[in-house]
Structure 1
Amino acid sequence: MVRYSVVMPAAGQGKRMGANENKLRLALCGKPIIVWTVEAFARDPWCYKIVLAIRPEEAQWFKSVLGHITTPIAYVTGGKERQESVRAGLHAVDADGVVLIHDGARPFVRLSQLHEVAEAAQTTGAILAVPVKDTVKQVAAGTIQQTVPRETLWLAQTPQAFPVAEIRAIHDQAKTAHVVGTDDASLFEWAGKEVTVIPGNYHNIKMTTPEDLLFGEAILTKEDYR
């Protein structure tokens, strides 16, 4: 068993979702997205702490919908950007051990996947990812520049897992250097660290656009995430 904490940035506005509220408050099969996501970790006995980076004005709502969760939840103030929220969350976890960083809008992660990335992160960074299935075109000004070989291309997912002390120090260094990563693994790479890829699941989608809500509802009709 690898005991871990998880940091979830949950302060975003979800502009691409087209909602007038935090997209994590939107319902999937009658339950807010964030509840599905937090419950996935609360079911894991390896997870001993959940850290949510939120907007202070939404604290009461989060506490009310997550009041049934028995795993300890800590709330920190998130930033305007995801990286700021993650950094704030990292400073609310223990100094040693493993931390997972997971999108609050990615509710369909499996228990076995949590364990795989947690085990790998005892010595290095680790992420879930899936191979690109479609042909990839590099485009400029509406015209194809080249067809990119897809054999080595993977789509990064979360959770992404790291030794706590290392990823926290790297986030602090990135802030000082004004470096913004596309994800936490990219910051780990920037610091010269190795990141292991664990094959993920194509159902582990992120709720980003209105179409994703339809996909999420479809997944819930086929699989048991309750």
Structure 2
Amino acid sequence: MMKADAVIVSAGKGQRFMEGRKKQFFSLGEKPILAHTLDRFDACPLIRSILLVVGREDQDYCLTEIIEKFRYRKISRIIPGGKQRQDSVRNGLDGLPGDAEIIVIHDGVRPFVTKEMIEESIRSAARFGAVIIAMPVKDTIKMAHPDGTVLKTLERESLWQAQTPQTFQASLIREAYLKATEDGYIGTDDASLVERLGKKIHILPGSYTNIKITTLEDLMLANLILKMRNHTKGEEE
């Protein structure tokens, strides 16, 4: 199996969160959201190392209150993020070992990623080159005019909601980021940069519970998901 290294992106400013507090440090159960995410990657046997990207002002806090407190073994570096998510991921890619073969990119505020998602992503990326976790959209999607009226209804059967992890062969994602930087292109996710190279992106079904926590409503839902998982785990034991 190829060496897999993870970039966990957690440099968000939390503009959509209560009082501007950073969502990744809010408590979910007994731990910060970010710690739940790191738990999954630190425990995954196919992950060699984890590079954590956070705001420059949060580096010391993450070291003492998250990494040292919860005794993570695989976090190799904490590096500062950039102005936008794409800048933060690029910083992460630049900070990874030169011999990285598979790179797993994941949002720090998606705490319900599973071991199976991570491992399947790595295996599939080794085979195909580029893989995303995604789910079919459930709602009808409308394309809108700038004036707020409907332009057209999109074919729901062909629409998927992209999640993370998004996993790539290292040479491919590095080439995609280099090209995007040269062209001044800003994508909406990592896979969109690879698409520009004309490469196919393979889809692995994820889970509707693999939510990205960006609002207080998301946090409420996350607490319910956590309670359900803890209850199920308790019954199994």
Is 2:89 aligned against 1:83? no
Is 2:182 aligned against 1:176? yes
After TM superposition, the score normalised by the length of structure 2 is: 0.90
SS in 2 for 1:205: coil
Q: Which residue in the other structure is 2:137 paired with?
A: 132
More helix by share: 2
1:5, 1:133 → 2: CA distance? 32
* Gaps in structure 2 of 5+ consecutive residues: none
After TM superposition, the score normalised by the length of structure 1 is: 0.95
Q: CA deviation at 1:16?
A: 1.5
1:14, 1:190 → 2: CA distance? 29
1:220, 1:213 → 2: CA distance? 10
Q: Which residue in the other structure is 1:57 paired with?
A: 57
Q: Which residue in the other structure is 1:66 paired with?
A: 67
Q: In the TM superposition, what whole-angstrom CA distance separates every residue of 1:85-111 from its partner, at most 9, and x where no partner exists? A: 101101121334101000011110011
Equivalent pair of 2:59/2:79 in contact (CA under 8 Å): no
SS in 2 for 1:51: strand
Q: Which residue in the other structure is 1:115 paired with?
A: 119
Which amino acid is 2:196 matched to? W
SS in 2 for 1:107: coil
Which amino acid is 1:85 matched to? S
1:36, 1:192 → 2: CA distance? 35
Q: In the TM superposition, what whole-angstrom CA distance separates every residue of 1:77-130 from its partner, at most 9, and x where no partner exists? A: 210100011011011213341010000111100111111111111131000000
Q: Which residue in the other structure is 2:109 paired with?
A: 105
1:42, 1:19 → 2: CA distance? 31
- Greater alpha carbon shift after TM alignment, 74-83 vs 50-59: 50-59
Q: Which residue in the other structure is 2:96 paired with?
A: 93
Which amino acid is 1:113 matched to? M
Is 2:202 aligned against 1:187? no
Q: In the TM superposition, what whole-angstrom CA distance separates every residue of 1:168-206 from its partner, at most 9, and x where no partner exists? A: 122122112101111000000011111100001000000
2:166, 2:160 → 1: CA distance? 14
Equivalent pair of 1:103/1:159 in contact (CA under 8 Å): yes
- Greater alpha carbon shift after TM alignment, 31-40 vs 130-139: 130-139
1:25, 1:59 → 2: CA distance? 12
Equivalent pair of 1:48/1:72 in contact (CA under 8 Å): no
Identity of aligned residues (%): 37
Is 2:164 aligned against 1:153? no
**Aligned residues between the structures:** 226
Is 2:23 aligned against 1:23? yes
* Gaps in structure 1 of 5+ consecutive residues: none
Which amino acid is 1:109 matched to? V
Q: Which residue in the other structure is 2:33 paired with?
A: 33
1:108, 1:145 → 2: CA distance? 35
Go from structure 1 to structure 2 and tell me whether the alpha carbon gap of 1:136 and 1:172 turns closer, same or farther (over 3 Å shift). Answer: same
1:73, 1:220 → 2: CA distance? 28
Q: Which residue in the other structure is 2:8 paired with?
A: 8
SS in 1 for 2:34: helix
Equivalent pair of 1:11/1:55 in contact (CA under 8 Å): yes
How well do the aligned residues superpose, as a CA RMSD in angstroms?
A: 1.6
2:151, 2:58 → 1: CA distance? 45
